[in-house]
Amino acid sequence: MNTFFLKLSFFLFTACQSETTMRTQTAQDTVVKAVVNRKLDKVATALANGANVNATDQQKRSLLLLATHNNDLKMAQLLVAHGADVNQQDAIKDSPFLYAGAAGYTSLVKLYLEHGARFDVFNRYHGTALIPACERGHLEVVKLLANTEGFPIDHVNRLGWTALMEAVVLGDGSKTYVEVVQTLVDAGCDITIPDKDGVTALQHARERGYTGIAKVLEKASR
């Protein structure tokens, strides 16, 4: 008889746990969908009712990262006001801060800097938010990050490139990239750091015929 009641108790306990898990998952899926669909009021209500502000979807993308994908400043402001983690990474190591920098979302980058953005959390290339911003010519983000106190402007990623190197090697030498390079130089970047083959940013600029960038780097090297 005792064995029967033990088994029954265990079954009921397991069933309750399963039901609770299902309810939690349903609530989580609902708030994820609301963030993706920019339903600010629904998200606010869910958070007020105890929804996990750092909940994730199946790809481990947090609510804040999903809002960042949408460049949804109001949603992001709501989430960080409830304690969302601006450094929480998904399955491919994107975080809200890293993604915002790479995408050129200046307002979001500012917001995340004000809410605990860490400079020692790196993307899948072991890079900072600044490096892809330089690669893609997001000048305003470059200006912001390069002049943020404590930001590792000379960080070298897994490819062996600094932010300066990416601006030269992966940029097109246009006026925007000249300004990106000038911004980095003015912020005090080390122009002598070479790539894995020992080639400097200045050498790459000359080889590619990027005269504007070469002039900036030549002046900085005097």
pLDDT, tens only, 62-111: 999 999 999 999 999 999 999 999 999 999 999 999 999 999 999 999 99
Per-residue model confidence (pLDDT) at position 10: 56
Percent of the chain whose pLDDT exceeds 90? 86
Instruction: Give the tens place of pLDDT for each residue, 120-152.
Output: 999 999 999 999 999 999 999 999 999 999 999
Could you please state the CATH topology (level 3) that the domain comprising 1-124 is classified under.
1.25.40
pLDDT at 9 over 90: no
**Residue 49 CB coordination number (10 Å):** 9
Average pLDDT over residues 169-194: 99
Residue 101 in contact with residue 141, Cβ under 8 Å? yes
pTM above 0.85, yes or no: yes
Domain with CATH 1.25.40.20 in the chain: 1-124, 128-222
Helices of type H across 62-221: 63-69, 73-81, 96-103, 106-113, 130-135, 139-146, 163-169, 175-186, 201-208, 211-220
Residue 96 in contact with residue 130, Cβ under 8 Å? no
Q: Which CATH number fits domain 128-222: 3.40.920.10, 2.60.40.3080, 1.25.40.20, 3.40.640.10?
A: 1.25.40.20
Mean predicted lDDT score pLDDT of the chain: 93
pLDDT at 22 over 50: no
Query: What's the gap between Cα 212 and its chain centre?
Result: 30
